[in-house]
Structures are given as structure tokens and as C-alpha cells.
Amino acid sequence: MHVPDGFIDAPVSVATGAVAAAAVAVSLRGARRELDERTAPLAGLVAAFIFAVQMLNFPVAAGTSGHLLGGALAAILVGPFTGVLCVSVVLLMQGILFADGGLTALGVNITNMAVVTTVVAYAVFRGLVKLLPRKRRSITVSAFAAAVISVPAAAVAFTLIYWIGGTTDVPIGQVFTAMVGVHLLIGIGEATITALTVGAVIAVRPDLVYGARGLTAPLKLRVNGELVDTPAAEPVPVAARSHRGVWLVGLAASLVLAGFVSFYASANPDGLEKVAADKGIDAKAEDHAAADSPLADYGVEGLDNARMSGGLAGVIGVGVTVVAGTGIFWTVRRRRTPETPSSGASPSGTSPSETSSVAPGNSA
């Protein structure tokens, strides 16, 4: 899925470049929290691993073979931030050294293959691990699900980018069907290999699998014939950490997309609206209750310039969504805090115990 030069037009390439740069900046900070000063050698070696494993051919049938893409695998094995970094570095080096993927399309490639796959895979993985029983098998099952969803998700992201900034007027429905169809198949292969690989690592070094942290049963001591929990040395697996960086960058990206990119987006009605207009479906449709709200039909009243008003409406929409979302999130958290008073006490940030729980020899 390496996109070459000339596939996506210049403004969208620049916009995705900005998104990719922001994502890499956030990951640099996050990875430092995941690995601290070991970031450079460990992330570098994991990037080399991903680079090598992409060369490992998995025969499918009748002479065809596929290979791993590695976004989901990286996210599960080393964590989302380090995963984004590793895949981005692999893509950067492939672009500069092997001319695999265009230099101007670097932003598109990183956004698609490093950010979307890794983030989607990790979100799905985390969610499933929380839902499923705390066993090793559920880690492999979640890894399968994460990888199977992450690959078509990247295809959807590509279709979206192509829709905004594609240089050829191919019907977007066909692009979508072709991309997602092919990548559903690829996703199944990717998922099988990812799950098997994660299973193989878990069998030998479960402590290395980032996604399986906190899964190890607490150590028990047998004192006078009965089992007792080991005293307090238990490190907190995932300490509360500040998501402000992620939050700010996400907000900035959506504002840019809503305000700036919608400026470039077509002013024509979208597919559904067009079909409705053509078939006369909308003849009977009544204007709904919000029709005379100031944001109706994504435009701000009193602004003549259609694009300006569309962009402004996008920005206001994002603002309202963020405020509403934050409000809900805040109330939910407020309600939850009385049950666990200790969670409020630990300050956000990096406690030294958080990072020293990985390997015995890292504090040299």
C-alpha cells in the first residue's frame, strides 16, 4: 500500500504530512514514557525487526505468498507509541533509501500505515482484553481481532484521503469496494500471522508483550500453609498518565481538517444527497427541526462565501463536539472517582516505578 508521488494532490499531501508529523511528535513523547532512555536502541531494534519480518514470506497457495505489514504486531508487542515510531521510521527509510513510496506521499503513507493501523489495532486490542477473561488465550484472540480490523481500517483511511485529494476522478464507491475488499482478505492473513506470532512470544517471554502487561497473576506466598499475597511490591501496571498531548493534537488535527480541508472539499451534495435529489426522494422530506439553527446544512448564516462559511461551520461543529464529549467524559469520571479514591491521589506523569518494571537489568 505504499503510495507513490503524484497519487494524491499537493495540498492534501501537505495536510497529511502535518498530521503525520504531529502524530510522530506525540509518539516521541509517549515512547519516552514507555521506554525512557532505552527508547533509541529498543525502538531502533524493533524497527529493524519489523523491517526484517516484512521480508519473511508466508506462502498462501499455488505459488502466491504474502508478508506481514506489522502495524498491529508492533502495537501489541511494544505499545502504541513505540509502534507508531517504529513503523514510521521503517516507512521513512523505505521512502528515502529504497524509493518505496513517494517522498511527497510520506505523510499519506505514515498516516495510513503507521498511525491508523497502529492506533486502531491497539484500541480494538485494549477494548477486547478488558472484555475477555484475563487469560493468555484472550490475548491471542484480541490480537487476531485487532489485526483483522486494522488492515481494512487503513484501506478506509486511504479511500478517505483519496476522496479528498485524489488526482483522478475514479468513482469513490469503486475505490472503496476494491480497497476494502482486497484488504479484508489481506487482513485475515495478517491477523492469523499476528496472532500466531504474539502467541509464540507470550509462550516464551510474556513479560515482553506490552499488551499482556498486568495479566500476570500476582505472586503468592505460602505462609503457614495458606496462600498470602506478596506484600506491596506490586508495581502498578498502568499508572494514570496525562493524555493532554494526545488531546491537544487530536483537537488541532480535527480543527485543521474541519476548517481547512473542508475548504477544498467539493461543494456539491454528497452521494446520498445526490441520489436523493436525483430520484426525487427528498421531495417529501420535511426540513427537520434544526433546519433553521445557525449551523443548518453545514454553513454559517450571514456569511456569503460558501467555502468560508462551510469551514467555519466545521470548526464550530468540532468545538461543540469536543465540549460535549469532554462534559460527558468528565461527569462519568466524577461519578467513578468516589469508588476508587486512590486513583485520584497518584499524580499524572512518570513515576519511576512505572518504567522499571520491564526488565531486571535496565537500571544500570
Partner 1 sequence: MGAGHAHRLYRHGHSPVHGLPPHTKLAAVFAFVLIVVSTPREAMWAFGLYALLLAAVAYAARVPAGFVLKRLLIEVPFVAFAVLMPFVARGERVDVLGLSLSVNGLWGAWNVLAKGTLGVAASVLLASTTELRELLLGLQRLKLPPLLVQIASFMIRYGDVIADEMRRMRIARESRGFEARGVRSWGVLAKSAGALFIRSYERGERVHLAMVSRGYAGSMPVIDDVTASRAQWTYAFALPFAALVVCLLGWTL
CA distance 204 to 198: 10
Ranges within 202-241 binding partner 1 (CB under 8 A): 203-205, 208
Ranges within 79-98 binding partner 1 (CB under 8 A): 85-86, 89-90, 92-93, 95-98
Contact call for residues 1 and 112 (beta carbons, < 8 A): yes
Binding string to partner 1 for residues 286 to 325, with x set by CB under 8 A, is what? Answer: ----------------------------------------
Which member of 141, 156, 184, 201 binds partner 1 (CB under 8 A)? Answer: 201
CA distance 116 to 56: 23
Ranges within 20-39 binding partner 1 (CB under 8 A): 24-25, 28, 31-32, 37-39
Q: Which is nearer to partner 1, 108 or 313 (CB)?
A: 108
Contact call for residues 161 and 108 (beta carbons, < 8 A): yes
Contact call for residues 264 and 11 (beta carbons, < 8 A): yes
Q: Which is nearer to partner 1, 160 or 316 (CB)?
A: 160
Contact call for residues 179 and 158 (beta carbons, < 8 A): yes
Q: Which is nearer to partner 1, 100 or 234 (CB)?
A: 100
Binding string to partner 1 for residues 98 to 117, with x set by CB under 8 A, is what? Answer: xxx-xxx-------------
The reply to whether 357 sits near partner 1 by the rule CB under 8 A is: no
CA distance 298 to 320: 13
Ranges within 157-196 binding partner 1 (CB under 8 A): 167-171, 174, 192-193, 196
Which member of 15, 47, 139, 154 binds partner 1 (CB under 8 A)? Answer: 47
| Residue 153: CA count within 13 A, CB half-sphere | 21
Kindly list the distances between the CA atom of residue 316 and the CA atoms of 126, 280, 291, in Å, as whole numbers in the listed order: 31, 31, 16
Nearest distance in Å: CB 81, partner 1: 12
Contact call for residues 264 and 12 (beta carbons, < 8 A): yes
Nearest distance in Å: CB 281, partner 1: 23
CA distance 330 to 233: 32
The reply to whether 45 sits near partner 1 by the rule CB under 8 A is: yes
